[in-house]
A and B are shown apart, each in its own frame.
Chain A
Amino acid sequence: MTGGDALDRLVGVAGDLLARVDGTLAGFGAPADHPVWPLLSRLRTLPGEAVGALAAATAAPLATAGGVLRLLQREYAHARAALPAAPGWRGAGADAFAGQWGALGAHLDSASPDDLAGRLAATTSYVDDLAGWLAELRAAVARTLAVVVISAEAVRVRTAADPVAAADIAACLLATLADGWERGERLRGRCGTGLGELVYRAPDPPVLSRDAHTVVPL
């Protein structure tokens, strides 16, 4: 089999087992003191349906979006570099223009988190973190799946619909999903900063006297 990641390759093989685990849990439950209960309560999903849906979610669109954002970062840097410095004019009008011109360039890119390029970089970083987290979650679930699919519990579920064995498998998978969920929640909290909309702060408008002169080279 070619293409995809480990979860893509495993989920087809494990599909029947996952359906049996979900069915056995739903039909027969689990011992009252089994560790699967708090995990079920926490994630509010059966393991098979969660793993199946996770297998359909890939980080590829996020990687594509990250590439677009990186390209725009380079274009912002080029645009900023192409802006001439405030010209060597003299006079009150020149000073006012230099202030406005400098503010326009600084808002575009001044090597600060609080300019357009900085916000774009923060957004790119967020997308990269999301893609990395999702890829790692898929890899972790695949590792767990690789273990449970060949386990003795899997045999008991397939041959005898053993509720304890089904609960054991469910607990393994849900524990992996819960760990990924916790890391995702931390990512959600950490990446919320630096993503808000930036407000342009224009310099104070110039106050020009009637006899002010500005000398400008054309």
Chain B
Amino acid sequence: MNPPEGGATLPELSAAADAAAATLTRAAAELDRLDLPASAGLAAVPGRLGELGEALHAQLSAAVAARAREAAAHAVRFADAGQVLRVVVAGYAETDAQAHRRHRDGAS
């Protein structure tokens, strides 16, 4: 068994994962709310320019929707990582407490 070499602790990692998840959740909401009115109204122009405006709007809307989904999905991954780390921290803490009790009971 090798000794630990410092670096971030489990609670610090858990907090960092939660913070990243929160940032990405906010980003996904911002992207969902982004106001993209038919490429600034160009789609209302008749003829080929209007068709181009519709196509550009569709392209932009799809890109922003993809950014929102990416952010939301990665927020879930970070949140899951934070949750796993908290479970591990709790498990280690309980193991330490049990060892402490055994040591105390054995010594009395």
Contact = CB atoms under 8 A, between A and B. Distances in A.
A200 B48 CA distance: 38
A101 interface: yes
Interface residues of B, number: 61
A101 B81 contact: yes
A161 interface: no
A126 B60 contact: yes
B66 A107 contact: no
Given A53-B45, A184-B52, A123 B64 contact: yes
A53 B37 contact: no
A115 B107 CA distance: 56
A217 B62 contact: no
Contacts of A175: none
Interface in B46-84: 46-50, 52-53, 55-56, 59-60, 62-64, 66-67, 69-71, 73-74, 77-78, 81
Nearest to B45: A53
Contacts of A86: 7
Interface in B11-67: 11-13, 16-17, 19-20, 23-24, 26-27, 30-31, 34-37, 39-42, 44-50, 52-53, 55-56, 59-60, 62-64, 66-67
A185 interface: yes
Contacts of A200: 73-74, 77
Nearest to B38: A57
Determine the main DSSP class of A at the interface with B. helix
Interface of B: 1-13, 16-17, 19-20, 23-24, 26-27, 30-31, 34-37, 39-42, 44-50, 52-53, 55-56, 59-60, 62-64, 66-67, 69-71, 73-74, 77-78, 81, 88-89, 92-93
Given A57-B41, A65-B34, A181-B49, 5 more contacts: A45-B46, A45-B48, A45-B49, A82-B19, A119-B67
Interface of A: 42-46, 49-50, 53-54, 56-62, 64-65, 68-69, 72, 75-76, 78-79, 82-91, 100-101, 104, 107-108, 116, 119-120, 122-123, 126-127, 130-131, 134, 177, 180-181, 184-185, 187-188, 191-192, 195-198, 200, 213, 215-218
29 contacts: A43-B47, A45-B47, A50-B45, A54-B49, A57-B40, A62-B40, A64-B35, A79-B20, A84-B12, A87-B13, A90-B2, A90-B3, A91-B2, A100-B81, A107-B74, A116-B24, A116-B67, A119-B66, A119-B67, A130-B40, A181-B48, A181-B49, A187-B56, A188-B59, A200-B73, A200-B77, A216-B88, A217-B6, A218-B10
